[in-house]
């Protein structure tokens, strides 16, 4: 009891003491400082928590947006892929020459396209692309990339270097796909015969168009042509030089097998690179061997002689009065270098008399003349596989004037290939064989049509040899090959009539004369005379020497053996050891 009594008393004493002390107005300084520090720490923690919450929320929003965009892009890519043109595998066959040289083949290339919906900045993308593909147009490309379409071609068939440059730009919305591209490894050589194909591998011209079905549907197997690139090279080289020498507007050359109709060479200048056909001009793309139609001038006198022999108009020794010009239908017909005397059939041909040819044709009559030209396919397009073959320009009426002028190659315009094919019939014993760009297989039967008697054909060929041996075609003679041929010079028609300063000069050659195998036709459009030709620009001075040089170059390639006789060897040796004599100016047509 005493313990509890003492404890209670102590409690009362302490309570009384506490009640007697005054209350403090504020906490001690040290206590306030402690509380302030504790409050600041709590505020910092709270701010950090708030910031973390904001950052976390922002990250959630950002990742959510990215995830949504990723899903959207995935679906967009699928949709874009669905609108990319699907191109079935195309196995287009190669074009090769008669010896297997590749003329056209197909390679895989990269093409660039865009999905405008995935392009971030159309203008920026267009400007960046132009830096590596300068042929693009910024404004047009910007418009395309700003469209609502899902697929836009930008440029097709890029080179590996171009593709790498575009790839390095890293621009969104751009994609590549592989595509086949037609490639022409020989460039300009034989461009008009080969032709070219579109980006979608559809033939647009030449053999590419003519044999499009075989190239596209034959399992990729090559399609051979009758062209011999060795022959083509020499014809092309010679014609380029003569075209430049005589400043001609164009040059055309054809080498034709008279027995099979195979075209061994077809040259048309100016030409183009089929790898860049879209950049070629209309003049360069024009296949003058088939599409151009010329009044061929005295070349047609070979057909007039055939008409005379067939109709029995000219008997041995019979002459035609060419002493002075004649008038037919109000027009005067005269000779370029008039003999001013009566001429035999042989002299009419070798001296290239317009008067004599007119007299023969008018005696035979328009119907007989037209029928002969019809049989020679000169009144229709040359029947070759190429679509470019043009229909001739014929007179609206075939009266006495037209009969006379057509006898010497005026008043009718035909393609060079049509003329070459007609001369092939003369060289082939009067049998016309259709020209072709496909090689003839060994043993294959050639279908031909007898258009006039063999003796008529031989009679014309004999006179053609005389033209080269002793007439206006002497510059076409090729030593050892006994060339036969006919010069041709025609004035070009204009608004006021024929222009004597604008000529179509040509030479039609057959070789070898003793065993005819090939026709060579050379045509120069508006050649200019030179001091070496004494200012003449006619066929005998311009086209004939070109034909002779071509024959000398290509005969061995074609398997034609050079005649080896003592007279020829002696002539060659004498020419090599003696200086060139002054040329003798002989009359030309």
Q: Is 186 helix (H, G, I), strand (E, B) or coil?
A: coil
Please give the structure tokens belonging to residue 71.
Answer: 């899903």
Please give the structure tokens belonging to residue 2.
Answer: 């005493």
**Cβ atoms within 10 Å of 263's Cβ, excluding its own:** 28
Q: Strand pairing of 95-96 and 223-224?
A: parallel
Please give the structure tokens belonging to residue 589.
Answer: 């047509």
- What's the CA gap between 360 and 410, in Å, rounded? 15
Catalytic residue (one of 226, 250, 265, 298): 298
Q: Is 158 exposed, middle or buried (0-12, 13-18, 19+ CB in 10 A)?
A: buried
CA atoms within 13 A on the CB side of 262: 21
Alpha carbon 45 to chain centroid, angstroms = 81
Q: Which 8-state DSSP code applies to residue 61?
A: H
Residue 184: which region, alpha, beta or left (left: phi > 0; alpha: psi -120 to 50)? beta
Please give the structure tokens belonging to residue 358.
Answer: 């007119």
Please give the structure tokens belonging to residue 539.
Answer: 């066929």
Are residues 326 and 359 in contact, defined by beta-carbon separation less than 8 angstroms? yes
- What's the CA gap between 188 and 233, in Å, rounded? 10
Question: Dihedrals φ, ψ of 84, to 5°?
Answer: -65, 125
| Helical packing angle, 138-145 and 122-132, nearest 10° | 140
Residues near 527 by Cβ (< 8 Å), separated by ≥ 6? 246, 247, 248, 503, 505, 537, 542, 543
Residues near 148 by Cβ (< 8 Å), separated by ≥ 6? 116, 117
The CA–CA distances, whole Å, from 202 to 93, 115, 205, 208, 223 equal 12, 26, 9, 8, 15
Element (H, E) at 374: helix 366-375
Please give the structure tokens belonging to residue 352.
Answer: 């290239």
E-only strand ranges, 115-220: 152-158, 174-183, 196-197, 203-205
Single out the residue of 80, 156, 176, 169 nearest to residue 124, CA to CA: 169
Residues near 109 by Cβ (< 8 Å), separated by ≥ 6? 156, 157, 158, 159, 178, 179, 180, 181
State yes or no: is 250 an active-site residue: no
Q: Kindly compute the dihedral angle of the four CA atoms of residues 352, 415, 238, 196, in this order, to the nearest 10 degrees.
A: 180
- The number of residues in the chain equals 589
Are residues 472 and 350 in contact, defined by beta-carbon separation less than 8 angstroms? yes
Could you write out the DSSP letters of every residue in 16-38? HHHHHSPPPSS--HHHHHHHHHH
Q: Is 332 helix (H, G, I), strand (E, B) or coil?
A: strand
Catalytic residue list = 298
């Amino acid at each position: 009891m005493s313990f509890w009594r003492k404890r209670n008393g102590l409690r009362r004493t302490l309570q009384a003491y506490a009640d007697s002390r005054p209350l403090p107005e504020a906490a001690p300084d040290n206590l306030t400082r402690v509380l302030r520090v504790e409050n600041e720490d709590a505020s910092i923690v709270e701010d950090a928590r708030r910031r973390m919450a904001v950052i976390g929320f922002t990250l959630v929003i950002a990742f959510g947006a990215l995830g949504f965009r990723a899903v959207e892009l995935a679906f967009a890519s699928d949709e874009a892929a669905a609108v990319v043109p699907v191109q079935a595998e195309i196995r287009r066959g190669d074009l090769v020459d008669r010896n297997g040289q590749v003329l056209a083949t197909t390679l895989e290339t990269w093409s660039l396209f865009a999905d405008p919906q995935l392009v971030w900045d159309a203008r920026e993308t267009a400007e960046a692309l132009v830096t590596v593909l300068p042929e693009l147009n910024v404004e047009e490309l910007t418009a395309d990339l700003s469209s609502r379409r899902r697929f836009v071609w930008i440029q097709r068939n890029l080179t590996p270097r171009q593709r790498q440059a575009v790839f390095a730009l890293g621009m969104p919305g751009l994609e590549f796909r592989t595509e086949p591209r037609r490639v022409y490894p020989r460039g300009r050589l034989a461009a008009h015969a080969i032709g070219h194909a579109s980006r979608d591998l559809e033939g647009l011209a030449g053999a590419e168009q003519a044999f499009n079905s075989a190239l596209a549907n034959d399992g990729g197997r090559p399609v051979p042509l009758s062209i011999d690139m060795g022959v083509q090279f020499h014809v092309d080289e010679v014609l380029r030089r003569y075209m430049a020498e005589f400043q001609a507007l164009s040059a055309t050359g054809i080498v034709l097998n008279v027995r099979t109709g195979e075209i061994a060479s077809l040259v048309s200048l100016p030409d183009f690179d089929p790898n860049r056909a879209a950049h070629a001009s209309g003049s360069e793309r024009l296949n003058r061997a088939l599409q151009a139609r010329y009044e061929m001038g005295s070349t047609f006198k070979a057909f007039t002689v055939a008409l005379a022999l067939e109709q029995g108009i000219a008997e041995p020794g019979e002459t035609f009065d060419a002493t002075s010009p004649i008038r037919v239908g109000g027009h005067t017909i005269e000779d370029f270098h008039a003999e001013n005397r009566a001429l035999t059939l042989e002299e009419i041909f070798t001296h290239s008399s317009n008067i004599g040819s007119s007299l023969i044709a008018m005696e035979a009559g328009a119907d007989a003349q037209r029928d002969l030209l019809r049989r020679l396919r000169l009144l229709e397009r040359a029947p070759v596989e190429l679509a470019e073959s043009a229909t001739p320009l014929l007179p609206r009426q075939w009266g006495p004037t037209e009969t006379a002028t057509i006898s010497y190659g005026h008043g009718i315009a035909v393609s060079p290939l049509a003329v070459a094919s007609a001369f092939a019939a003369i060289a082939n014993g009067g049998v016309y064989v259709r020209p072709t760009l496909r090689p003839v297989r060994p043993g294959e039967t050639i279908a031909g049509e007898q258009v006039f008697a063999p003796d008529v054909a031989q009679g014309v060929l004999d006179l053609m040899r005389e033209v080269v041996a002793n007439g206006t075609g002497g510059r076409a003679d090729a030593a050892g090959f006994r060339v036969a041929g006919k010069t041709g010079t025609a004035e070009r028609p204009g608004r006021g009539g024929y222009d004597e300063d604008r000529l179509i000069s040509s030479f039609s050659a057959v070789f070898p004369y003793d065993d005819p195998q090939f026709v060579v036709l050379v045509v120069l459009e508006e050649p200019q005379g030179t001091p070496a030709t004494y200012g003449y620009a006619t066929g005998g001075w311009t086209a004939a020497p070109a034909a002779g040089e071509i024959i000398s170059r290509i005969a061995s390639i074609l398997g034609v053996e050079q005649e080896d006789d003592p007279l020829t060897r002696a002539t060659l040796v004498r020419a090599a050891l003696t200086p060139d004599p002054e040329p003798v100016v002989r009359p030309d047509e």
